[in-house]
Amino acid sequence: MSRSLRRSLLGRNFLSLVDYSPEEFRYLIRLSMDYKLGRRSEEPLKGKTVALIFEKPSTRTRVSISVAINELGGYPLELPIKALQVSRGETLKDTALVLSRYVHAIAARVKKHETLIELARWADIPVINMLSDKFHPLQALADVMTMKEIFEDKKLKVAFVGDGGANTSHSLMLASALQGYHHVVACPPEYQPDPSVLDRAEEIASRTGGLIEVIEDPKKAVKQANVIYTDTWVSMGVPDAERRMEVFPPYQVNKTLVSLAERHVIVMHCQPWFLGQEITEEVAYGPHSVAFEQAENRLHTAKAVLRAIMVP
């Protein structure tokens, strides 16, 4: 079982969970847990370099993946977009073809998801999404790992409250579908998930026993929820910050909203958070919050992805 999963993951891109099966996703979570428990101490990336391209700021992703590569014995080569010739008009095609001659994988945080698709089209090494406007799969993997550490194999109700069209919302919805969870997105009508991502999540959920819903009412969404998840109302690069600040306030995750959920609900946030906007300080640092566990798990999940797609 594991051997065939290992074979199927080797050499793959990690651009979106759309491309991953429930078994492959579970395998990556198990491997992440092994890394966390210190069960794997070998250095499988010894002699290998991973190019890390950043078109946007990052703290958790930058540091977790760099430390993961280092602890696996490899070298993280950080490439801010401005330092590359692509910033002067060189094509992504040539960038991918050239990097493929030097390094063993490319990880990129990009403004447009299409940039990752173009890099992956021309690279003959794996390409990893470190966040795009559409998806944040490394985050969702760490999120589900965190849920499973707490709830083990229980079938959960997950309520995502806020910007349904955010990268984190899309990836978490797909992750919930892969896990067979009941996933409810509560968002304003104009900030719903991308219909193609929603269709795909519903299609996966129909096979895993999950259920995906998109509604407007945050109170209804959190009823009996085991997990409340939120993210910034104004993701990096969105053009309509002012409009968002008008429509999102009813979606704040505060003590009152948390009190409507299941008694042992956990509150999750990918961070960075904007306290007093999508989440109150009291909830962010309160007893239900597991945001720093999520952040820690980014390290273990990054190792699992690198190991699985880069090492035979």
Q: List residues with catalytic annotation.
A: 109, 136, 139, 231, 270, 298
59 binds, among ligand NVA, ligand CP, none (CB under 5 to 8 A by kind): ligand CP
Q: How far is the CB of 275 from ligand CP (least distance, A)?
A: 16
* Token duo for residue 282: 């009291």
Our finding on whether 235 is near ligand NVA (CB under 6 A) is yes
Q: Which is nearer to ligand NVA, 167 or 226 (CB)?
A: 167
Q: Which is nearer to ligand CP, 204 or 302 (CB)?
A: 302
Q: How far apart are CA 302 and CA 305, in angstroms?
A: 5
167 binds, among ligand CP, ligand NVA, none (CB under 5 to 8 A by kind): ligand NVA
**Contact status, residue 288 vs residue 265, Cβ threshold 8 Å:** yes
257 binds, among ligand NVA, ligand CP, none (CB under 5 to 8 A by kind): none
Q: Which is nearer to ligand CP, 64 or 176 (CB)?
A: 64
Q: Which residues bind ligand CP (CB under 6 A)?
A: 58-62, 131, 139, 270-272
Single residue of 231, 252, 297, 300 touching ligand NVA by CB under 6 A: 231
Q: Which is nearer to ligand CP, 60 or 134 (CB)?
A: 60
The stretch among 70-78, 173-181, 194-202, 229-237 that binds ligand NVA (CB under 6 A) is 229-237
208 binds, among ligand NVA, ligand CP, none (CB under 5 to 8 A by kind): none
Q: How far is the CB of 60 from ligand CP (least distance, A)?
A: 4
**Contact status, residue 132 vs residue 115, Cβ threshold 8 Å:** yes
Long-range contacts of 208-212 (CB under 8 A, 24+ apart): 208/22, 208/177, 208/178, 208/179, 208/180, 209/155, 209/180, 210/176, 210/177, 210/179, 210/180, 210/181, 210/182, 210/183, 211/182, 211/183, 212/173, 212/176, 212/177, 212/183, 212/184, 212/185
Q: Which is nearer to ligand NVA, 235 or 252 (CB)?
A: 235
Q: How far is the CB of 201 from ligand CP (least distance, A)?
A: 21
Give DSSP secondary structure letters for 189-250. Answer: GGGPPPHHHHHHHHHHHHHHT-EEEEES-HHHHHTT-SEEEE--SS-TT-S-HHHHHHHSGG
Task: Using CB atoms within 10 Å of the CB of residue 3, give its burial: 0 to 12 exposed, 13 to 18 middle, 19+ buried.
Answer: exposed
Q: How far is the CB of 7 from ligand CP (least distance, A)?
A: 30
Q: Which is nearer to ligand NVA, 161 or 166 (CB)?
A: 166
| Residues 141-180, interacting with ligand NVA (CB under 6 A) | 166-168
Q: How far apart are CA 73 and CA 47, in angstroms?
A: 7
The stretch among 1-9, 89-97, 114-122, 232-240 that binds ligand NVA (CB under 6 A) is 232-240
Please report how the helices 167-179 and 22-36 are oriented relative to each other, as an axis angle in degrees rounded to 10: 100
232 binds, among ligand NVA, ligand CP, none (CB under 5 to 8 A by kind): ligand NVA
Q: How far apart are CA 73 and CA 62, in angstroms?
A: 17
Report, in angstroms and rounded to the nearest whole number, the Rg of the chain calculated over CA atoms.
19
Contact positions toward ligand NVA, by CB under 6 A?
A: 131, 166-168, 231-232, 235-236, 270
